[in-house]
Chain A
Amino acid sequence: MSRTEASFPPHHLPPPHHHPLPQDCSVPVEHLDYDYIGKCKDVKYLEKICTVLRSGDEGIYPRLIMFCEDHLEKLDPRSLALRKEKPVSTAACLPNDEWSHIADELKTWQEETKASETSLKQQSMFDALVFENMPPIRGSNCSVPLCQTSVKKEKRTLSRHTLPRDYRQWDKFDVEKEFEKIDRNVDKHDAPAIIHQGHANIKTKVDASLLTQQEKLLLAHREKEKGNEAFRAKDYEEAVAYYSRSLSIQPAVAAYNNRAQAQIHLQSWHNATRDCERVLELEPGNMKALLRRGTVHNHMGNFQMAVEDLRVVLREEPQNAAATKLLLEIEKRMKEREPEQRRRGKQILIQEVEEEDDNVNTRAKETARPVEPSQPVGGEESSAAPVERGDMGNTQKKPHSRGDGGPHSEPNNSHGHRRGKGASADKYRVTQESKEKVANGSGKRGSTASAPADPSSSSRKEPPVGGHAGEPASLDAPCGALPPPLSRLKNEGNLLFKNGQFSDALEKYSQAIQGFTDSGMDSPEDLCILYSNRAACYLKDGNCQECIQDCTRALELQPFSLKPLLRRATAYDSLERYRKAYVDYKTVLQIDISVQAANDSVSRITRQLIEEDGPEWREKLPEIPLVPLSAQQHRREGPPSVELLQARAEKAARDAERTAEVRFTAVKQEGNDFVKKGQYQDALGKYTEGLQLKPEECAVYTNRALCYLKLERFTEAKQDCDAALKVDPTNKKAFYRRALANRGLKDYVACSSDLQQVLQQDPNVQEAEKELEEVTVLLRQSLANVSPAKPRTTVPITEVAGDEETPGAAQSESPRGEEPINLQLTNAYEYGQALNAARCSGNTAACAALLASTPPERLPHFLSTQLDGNTISFIMQALDSHLLEKDPHLVYQHLHHLHTTHRFSVVLMLLEKDERRHMTQLFEHMSAVQSAEFTENDVQNLANKYI
């Protein structure tokens, strides 16, 4: 029979003694026992016992066998003895439903394949094309040697392993050992190891142009599966390559999704996001894609977006464990990160605050310097003292050119305080200079005997360790009123803090505080600084409770000092006591509105609190203390030790100046708010306060004047207006209000002259016009009656509150709605702005008003920058609808000049149909108008230039 011929490999019997006989392996009968088996830990021996038991030679004990097997499985689940041959299952072995499910599936598959096979057969074949695209034939009959060149080795291999082996030999030999032997024997080759990286040389694109749709589907599916396999083997790059191949054949949601996951593993977040987004494009609301995008966002640090994605997932699938877990994780991380952010924010903050202090101090130093030579040593020390005080935590201090510093200094200038800006810029320059000239400066001071070196500069030059002996000058630098030992402690603390040794610094400060209280000195500000500095250490160490305590102590000593407040706020924030943190931040902002970190934190906490407490969150807040204006002057009242006086006065002045600006803005704002609410008395107080801070602010005077007017305190109102006019002699509002005040004072002549001033500046102020009419009547009456017998009319104050808020801005303001427009436009830019504003709102009336106030001969100049089709058309409309009836001559004049505008002809050419129509309409209407100034002929001539 041919089977013999075919029966390769040689059919053979299984090795005869696979199960060793009991006597061979000597398992005593006593060992076939529950107790013994239960205690036996030797897997090999247990396997033997198992075999003996199964063989039945010692009797059949099914339970013991099971016990033995169970025990063996516990010890070694992979034991070969546990492998039992099983007969093949049949459908009957399975539960009914399971089998029916399988059978159904099989049936549908059969039907499907049948259908697909039929369609496959019907498709035409592209044999020729397929062949054309094939790689060339490899070659003809290339012979490949069966063995590597080393003949010696081949010989050995052959000689050593001749076949067939004896069956018994198979049982004996250990493959691993044999392998090792071979490995040892093999000649060493120089060839390097070949590593097949999965992704190498895999084309990521497949040319599927010749394939039928069905083949494409199949192929795409197969490539995707290869990707899946690579993914399971953790060859993510290979997986990405195969998914890409699959997608190049047939884009599909699953492949994109899987590739996204692989990209996540490769940490190429952007690609992953792109894939997720593509999935979501194809299938909006794909849970996997959302989840994965969430993951990516998480990794990229976009926690907010991650949370959004995950929330969507959880909304659809509340049971989604992965999403829930990730969400929790992200929330945790967000929380973790918040303190981090806070810390970072705080650093910036400290930096910022420190910088300011430093600037102030440097300035103080700078100004003090000229006096230096003539001053006794003690005086010089005192001038340097504030420097020491201010440089707490200057580790983070960076040159001012760094981006961080910039924004914080900006709010100072935001209210048009050019002076302040100049000053701060000056400060910065000085600081930088002083830093650049560190060596110079210290050298200078070094020459003046015991003059202290600038600690920040010295620490920059060589990083000192705590209590560095080489820095005695710097460490002994006196601090405020502190006696030398204490100031030394403090300086050491500062140094340590700068070096990031917060706990050591903490110790130093604590010692200093202790020494301070022991000495019974009365210098609250120095103690305050010590506490504040120690608080900073606590904060750095994460000891928020202690930090809060120290800050509170510092604030008791020096209420409303910025740094302790900020530190306490940060600490509260870290402890998630948001309400208290909020209050502190708010207080900080009252003191200095420009503290960016405080601003950020306030908005963040606000969100947090709204989330927690709902819309009534404000009601649950503790009261925010109002920072008294004097808060900053407070320090000045400290016990003036003689030698400190000068420096302290300087510092205080600077503090006052700095805080005044901030306070001023706040106060003004509050005043405006009160005005809006109609609480004029309160507003008055605020404005007064504001004027104390900035006596030359015109807007505040006019605002206060308004309050006085409302309160019918006309004399004061008039005084304020006078003051405002002193600052700004053309202030329309001041004139108007003075007019009202004069009217209240029954000084109608003055009133009338004021109103005329207003109208002269701006003929469109209708209130003024009306007022003037009334006043003229009153004036006549009063002149007639000599004595003002007429009962006083109520003063109509019709200005809108909104106007009050921006008293200074009115000058350049563009027309708003129906409000009277400011027509005092002097240049093309302003004119353009006004025109644009009107055009954007489609307000032809405003445009007409604008045009009415424009001298026609100036129009081309004003429009020179603005001229386009839209504008022309808009002007035409405005002229047509508003001006033509009232003042045809003006319209004519305007048109007469308009066409001389630069580029007019070009614009005209580019006019659209609609725009042209407006123009034609205007000219039609115009020719219908009878006028003395121009004839129909003129209009026709003009029209020719336009149409």
Chain B
Amino acid sequence: MSSPLDKPQIISHFQKSLNYTVFDSKWIPCSAKFVCLGNYARGTGVMQIYEVQQGEAQLIKEQEFPKPIKCGTFGATSLQQRHLATGDFGGNLNIWNLEVSGTPVFSVKAHKEIINSIDGVGGLGIGDGAPEIVTGSRDGTVKVWDTRQKDSPVANMEPGEGETKRDCWTVALGHAFNDQDRCVCAGYDNGDIKLFDLRNMSLRWETNIKNGVCCVEFDRKDINMNKLVATSLEGKFHVFDMRTQHPTKGFSSVSEKAHKSTIWQVKHLPQNRDIFMTTGGAGNLNLWKYEYPSQRSKTDSDDLAVGVAGSVTLLQNATVSTQPIASLDWSPDKKGLCVCSGFDQTVRVLIVTKLSQV
């Protein structure tokens, strides 16, 4: 507040108005290109690839699909292939070779209803073990897919008989620091956060943050799980320290009221896991930094280790739109470069400066 130029600045590099609603935008790894996913007003899906060129976005490729595409990920592909996995309104999981138009390289009817969220790990050199994709759907299930297995998921996390189906709004993969360990975190509309251990095929931890969980993300997918950020409908986010799990208290957390409206997205900076950006329902972006406590765990009265949460500091904020920013993606290659898209049918490329100095 005192010396604004010392802090990271969020600079709008350029923006591009689109003629469709963008749900997701993702950088194509190892390139200056990003892909936008969304739906046309006529009810069809669309995928566009843009390249950043001389301060503006050049449309390179466009493809229309029968179903609107809700989300996409490059998390489970190799750097050479760079196949994009998408989830659409029809519950289909498709994997596309961006070089070749037409049919997907992998396609499965994954869910009965819309796939709200998708995440991948094991590709791009991020995370040990097999490339896997996780999808979360309105049908209440969370499924893990291995592209080597065509028709059925490798893991299915669904409510049992008679249990209420909750809308799964978000999924995230993490804890993939060796071949065996891997965790899926899912956030539901009722505020439930569930952590599934894929190694043991069990629910490892659950909590409720009282409000619909819009987005969860591990600070890193490919390390021993360190932190988890969950954002909620009412403008708060929680940072869980995932290193110490108390048998009853679970993971300790710190929460912060960040926005005056829903936090749609949280994304950690790929180059620094302790910096993350949240995007708000009022078109604002907040850049945060997590600071570790001096001791990350302590022992409670029962002599059990319990984690100690750190604190978060707002580094910068910026309002880019009046409409919610539904997606944001940091460039994995260029520090501080990010693309975000909102319901104002605009995609923006932003530059965040001085990230190395925080």
Contact = CB atoms under 8 A, between A and B. Distances in A.
Interface of A: 1-3, 5-12, 14-15, 18, 73, 77-78, 80, 82-83, 85-91, 93-94, 98, 102-103, 106-107, 109-110, 113-114, 116-117, 120-121, 123, 125, 127, 130-131, 134-148, 154, 157-158, 161-165, 170, 173, 175-176, 178, 182-183, 186-198, 200-203, 211-212, 214-215, 218-219, 222, 225-226, 229-230, 232-234, 238, 242
Contact of A109 (B32, B160, B234, B244): B32
B245 A194 contact: yes
Given A140-B154, A148-B206, A9 B191 contact: no
A142 B313 CA distance: 41
B11 interface: yes
19 contacts: A2-B21, A5-B89, A73-B2, A86-B316, A86-B318, A89-B11, A116-B30, A138-B130, A138-B132, A144-B203, A146-B158, A158-B164, A163-B189, A175-B209, A196-B242, A203-B178, A225-B272, A226-B220, A232-B274
Given A170-B211, A198-B223, A193 B177 contact: no
A198 B225 CA distance: 8
B107 interface: no
B31 A202 contact: no
Nearest to B138: A8
Contact of B211 (A73, A138, A165): A165
B274 A233 contact: yes
Q: Which 4 A-B pairs have the closest CB atoms?
A: A138-B154, A88-B318, A194-B245, A193-B305
Contacts of A191: 247
B121 to A, nearest CB: 12
B63 interface: no
B39 A146 contact: no
Given A2-B89, A9-B233, A138 B146 contact: yes
Interface string B201-214: 11100111111101
B126 A145 contact: no
Contacts of A189: 247-248
A403 B255 CA distance: 64
B152 A141 contact: yes
A202 B224 contact: yes
Nearest to B222: A226
A140 B146 CA distance: 10
Contact of B30 (A117, A182, A192, A238): A117
Contact of B177 (A7, A147, A201): A201
Contacts of A148: 203, 206
Interface string B58-90: 000000000010100000001111000000010
B305 A142 contact: no
Given A193-B306, A196-B242, A9 B169 contact: yes
B198 A138 contact: yes
A234 B89 CA distance: 44
Nearest to B99: A121
Contact of A9 (B189, B223, B249): B189
A210 B337 CA distance: 30
B102 interface: no
A109 B203 contact: no
Nearest to B294: A234
Contact of B12 (A90, A135, A164): A90
Interface in B223-260: 223-226, 233-236, 242-249, 255, 257, 260
Nearest to A230: B223
Interface string B177-197: 111110000000111101010
Given A14-B261, A14-B282, A233-B274, 17 more contacts: A1-B41, A11-B324, A14-B281, A15-B260, A91-B13, A94-B9, A113-B31, A134-B130, A137-B146, A139-B155, A141-B154, A145-B160, A201-B178, A203-B128, A214-B79, A222-B125, A225-B272
A203 B176 CA distance: 12
A138 B133 CA distance: 12
A57 to B, nearest CB: 20
Nearest to A91: B11
B353 interface: yes
Contacts of B192: 157
Given A83-B314, A120-B80, A6 B39 contact: yes
B116 interface: yes
A137 B39 CA distance: 33
A77 B1 CA distance: 9
A12 B224 contact: no
B158 to A, nearest CB: 7
B156 A142 contact: yes
B172 to A, nearest CB: 16
Nearest to B148: A137
Contacts of A142: 154-156, 201
A109 B9 contact: no
B304 interface: yes
Nearest to A131: B148
B104 interface: no
Nearest to B167: A8
**Which of B144, B167, B226, B262 has most A Cβ within 10 Å?**
B226
